[in-house]
Structure 1
Amino acid sequence: MAEFSSQSSWYPTSSTVELADFELPILVVHYWAVWNLHDREMDRRLSALCNEYSDRICFRSCNVDGAENQRFIPDIANIPALGCFIHGELLESSIGLRSVDELRTEFGGWLARFMVEVAQIEKRYWRVEWTLKVAVH
């Protein structure tokens, strides 16, 4: 019994996700539970990458057993899990423990997809801007 209480005091190193976080350009949420020992290892691996990606990705965590967090949990089959959100929309989820290299590859892919989205938004903006300039002249 004492072993469980020491486990129940564990929390991920990233901050707890809040509603306002979903307004960020790129948000990666680590979905975890106190009872899942794999989550501790996932947190260690994520922590190793947080500084490397902190200028491009915001990292948060979400306890899947917390009633107050249910609105933040996408349809995930298991934990540990990661959810990558771009401007609040779920881009992709990743289920299961990943190595640091696998996580780095996943983050790189998510960042590339984000940059494609940004380029498409800018292209639409400039198309509208150009159309407005042509219409005015």
Structure 2
Amino acid sequence: MKGADALIARLLSDAAPLLADPDPGADMAVLFPVDMDPVDRHYRYGVAIDAELRLAGVGCDAGGGMLYAADDEADEDGEHETVFTVLEIDATDVGGARALMRLHLPDLGCPAGTLIHWGDDGEDRWDGERWHLDVPRSFEVED
């Protein structure tokens, strides 16, 4: 049993850096043009993207949220339409994280209109067949 315990301890110690959150990096976001439950977002995209980012050493999943229609676009009941479901990314290497997400998001079934935002105005846009890289932001989020 000592041999197995030693092996498990060695494997866990080798994996520890991959499981730790990286040093704070650049904020990025993946915006999916659908209304998606947070649990669905996490298991459909967040888990896989987090694992790939960590394995590549370029960042991690930092949570997510929803982006709603503007106040003046509320329905009669005062409800706002969900415009995007957001996956937040903490990237230690923005270029590497962008490349990795562009590779994996289509395989995970991201819909046409999916956006990757980084920096102040950068955006990569998926049209359902290919990525349009480093295009001007299609909108600005107001706080």
TM-score w.r.t. length of structure 2: 0.28
TM-score w.r.t. length of structure 1: 0.29
Question: Could you say which structure has the higher helix fraction?
Answer: 1
